[in-house]
Structure 1
Amino acid sequence: MALERITVLGAGSWGTTFAKVLADAGREVTVWARRADVADEITVRHTNSAYLPGVRLPDGLSATADAGRALAGAEAVVLAVPSQSLRDNLTRWRELVPDGAVLVSLAKGVELGSLKRMSQVVGEIVDMPADDVVVVSGPNLAREIAEEQPAAAVLACADHDRAVAVQQAGSTPYFRPYTNTDVVGCELAGACKNVIALSCGMAAGLGFGANTVATLITRGLAETARLGTALGADALTFAGLAGVGDLVATCSSPLSRNRTFGERVGSGETIEQARAAQGGQVAEGVTSCRSIRELARGAGVDMPLTEAMHRVCHEGADPATVGAELLGRARKHEWS
């Protein structure tokens, strides 16, 4: 299955970066942008200054604000919109998606209300098996990849041939994608890491150092793996790029929107102030902690960090107080 004509729906930082990767790999790529001025800038000036200032995009990469035009003849469609807006956007686009196109999801989250993973949402909207959706995960800090710093990713799909097709379409000297068939594990790892990154940012904002952050990363990984395995994921996935790889990058880098958001809150800003300071960039973990919390409760899984982030982001709790309560929890064996 060779994929040559690819459409990326979404011109944010990660959507534009992934489009660049595909174009650098020799594919014919069209980006759909919500705003016509952004589409014109990508096509004419080969930049996207709103999301990737200073990055030169490939000359062959084009963009349009017309979804029908963007999707015409596409052999693969990459969905690069935030997780909580995926359903509404894809509902508008579904009649335009060419029959037989491979669908690829870049979104990392669990949908509010339905508690569905993104591949499940895609499958429901376009009436196709969720197992046929290819999910991209791993340490995907867009700016670094756009600058062609070496990076790897995971392409997860139960239909391995589809994952291999996307792997072949998106391999470059600086971007190395691996395949995986554990969609559940990869998607849950990608959603949960945003919540854990909030906690690491808050710890940094409170003035704590590397030991604290390392503790949060490790215990966050433990609760993510508990949820994943309870829902049918392979435990090994959480030791890989989609698990610990994505978690370390998102929890450690100032390029991470979720970590930065958490640091603002830990430093004393309100949720509203931190949100306004993001400048239109979405911190997915703020919303995802609600849906992941409900998913965990329904599965009977203990996720104390997720519960803590929900309290801070949606119940007005003070980060320092919540942190002290986490440390005061009952002692137990590490693997219990």
Structure 2
Amino acid sequence: MKKVAVIGAGSWGTALSIVLADHKHEVNVWSHRQEQVNEINERNTNQRYLPNIQLSEHIVAYSKMEEAVKGTDAVLLVVPTKAIREVSQQLKPFLDPNKMIIHASKGIEPETHKRISEMLEDELGEQVHQQLVVLSGPSHAEEVALRQPTTITATSYNLKMAELTQDLFMNENFRVYTNEDVLGVEIGGALKNIIALGAGISDGLGYGDNAKSALITRGLAEIARLGTSLDANPLTFAGLAGVGDLIVTCTSKHSRNWRAGNMLGKGYVLQDVLDQMGMVVEGVRTTKAAYQLSRKLNIDMPITEGLYELLFDEKEPKKVVDELMNRGKTKELEDLSSFL
């Protein structure tokens, strides 16, 4: 039995806490909202994020970071990308030098274009490089909380850390593979949210399965093109953190990014969409970062560029689709060379 601090009490952090508690691990959940801490401790629920799910008594919530982290064997960070730096700064004074650090967030930082593991190294120090693990893959919190079969990957520069994470989480409902391509897993996990926005927009416009299938396929080509240009392993994008995560995020009612895109396709403006969602839509911020990075590296990413113009230049959704459909001719297999 281990003791794990889960930093972030949203839907995904809570769902992963359930997985850990099923192993009889002690779980300390940190939240900056005192009312949420009180609810978890007094009623064993987190209704805002996982309605009608009963939490284990092995899950105890704290509002003070020091109390949540003290005496734990590992720290699991599950906060939005925009909060990573601030939360890491709060965490750093209470972090033992050799403690394993796992993150299960997905995104890229605009302007710096840094992945989450790079942001964590910035804030916690380069010494955490070999202690970091990325948990990623096709996994909706709502289904994990119901103990429905889920398969993800634990990825680290240090295979031993990935294997320890595998042991920490793996059970009959939650299967964990290991991987050593941190860059590829983080790129795949972040950029799939962009394509999910596009899939939602396509559905919101009333287009059918043909359009969405093409969008997902061509979106995967864009993800792989950018990832391999940064030296990711191309096979990663054919795995759980690539095509697996892409499919589930582009096709499910549970996907925030699909839901946000669907509303945009129906004519809602971006700020109204974000206000109504009430939770972070990572794809919006990641679209800006990926667009900036593609321009910097001169990587052709037409879907990402179209979505950037829709989100930040207020281009009409149908016009974006029309421009994508009327691009110049190209060869598919030549364009999929990223996988070779």
TM-score, normalising length: structure 2 = 0.96
What's the secondary structure of 2:76's corresponding residue? strand
Aligned with 2:313 (options 312, 315, 328): 315
Deviation at 1:163, TM superposition (A): 0.6
Show the counterpart of 1:123.
121
Which stretch shows the higher mean deviation, 43-52 or 320-329? 43-52
Deviation at 1:107, TM superposition (A): 1.1
Question: Which secondary structure state, in structure 2, belongs to the residue aligned with residue 136 of structure 1?
Answer: strand
Of 293, 296, 301, 1:295 maps to 293
For 2:205 and 2:145, how far apart are their aligned partners in 1? 31
The aligned runs of 1:26-65 (5 Å cut-off) are: 26-65=24-63
Query: In structure 2, what residue type is equivalent to 1:266?
Result: G
Moved more, 268-277 or 192-201: 268-277
- Superposed CA deviations along residues 60-91 of structure 1, whole A, max 9, x for unmatched, are 11111111100101211111110121011111
Aligned-pair CA distance for 1:129: 4.4
Is 1:124–1:130's contact at 8 Å kept on the other side of the alignment? no
Q: Distance in 1 between matches of 2:187 and 2:130?
A: 15
Q: State the partner residue of 1:271.
A: 270
Alpha-carbon offset, residue 130 of structure 1: 3.2
Equivalent AA in structure 2 for residue 237 of structure 1: T
**1:302: Cα distance to partner?**
0.7
2:231 corresponding residue in structure 1:
232
8 Å CA contact 1:188, 1:224 repeated in 2: yes
Question: Match of 1:13?
Answer: 11
Residue identity opposite 1:29 in structure 2:
V
Corresponding residue for residue 254 of structure 2: 255
Q: Which runs of 5+ in 1 are unaligned?
A: none
Identity, % of aligned positions: 39
The CA deviation at 1:168 is: 0.3
Give the whole-Å Cα distance in 2 for the aligned partners of 1:91 and 1:311. Answer: 34
Runs of at least 4 residues off by over 4 Å? none
CA RMSD of aligned residues (A): 1.1
- 1:167–1:177 CA contact under 8 A, matched in 2: yes
How many Å apart are 1:131 and its aligned residue?
4.6
User: Does the 8 Å contact 1:73/1:98 carry over to 2?
Assistant: no
Residue in 1 that maps onto 2:2:
4
Distance across 2 between alignment mates of 1:293 and 1:267: 24
Report the CA distance between 1:264 and its aligned residue. Answer: 0.2
Question: Structure 1 stretch 165-174 or stretch 196-205: which is displaced more?
Answer: 165-174
Q: Give 1:70's match in structure 2, choosing from 64, 68, 80.
A: 68
Distance 2:56 2:267 in 1: 41
The residue identity in structure 2 corresponding to 1:140 is S
Q: State the shift of 1:152 in Å.
A: 0.4
For residue 175 of structure 1, report the CA deviation from its aligned partner: 0.6
Q: Does 1:202 align with 2:189?
A: no
The answer on whether the counterparts of 2:39 and 2:45 sit within 8 Å (CA) in structure 1 is: yes
Q: Does 1:167 align with 2:163?
A: no
Q: Amino acid of the residue matched to residue 130 of structure 1?
A: H
Which residue does the alignment assign to 2:338?
none
Compare 43-52 and 319-328 and name the one that shifted more: 43-52
Query: Could you tell me how far apart the structure 2 residues matched to 1:101 and 1:53 are?
Result: 32
Distance 2:292 2:181 in 1: 22
CA contact 1:47–1:57 (8 Å) conserved in 2 = yes
Matched positions, count: 333
Q: What SS does the aligned partner of 1:153 have?
A: strand
Map 1:278-289; keep pairs closer than 5 Å. Answer: 278-279=277-278, 281-289=279-287
Per the TM alignment, residue 40 of structure 1 is displaced from its structure 2 partner at its CA by: 1.7
Look up the equivalent residue of 1:155 and give its one-letter code. A
> Are 1:170 and 1:177, in contact at CA under 8 Å, matched by a contact in 2?
yes
Q: Deviations over 1:165-221 (max 9, x none)?
A: 011011121111111000010000001000000000000000011111111110000
SS of 1:254's partner is coil
Q: Are the counterparts in 2 of residues 138 and 154 from structure 1 also a CA contact under 8 Å?
A: yes
- Give, in whole Å, the separation in 1 of the partners of 2:15 and 2:128: 27
Check whether the contact 1:225–1:238 (CA below 8 A) recurs between aligned residues: yes
Contact 1:108–1:190 (CA under 8 A) maintained in structure 2 = yes
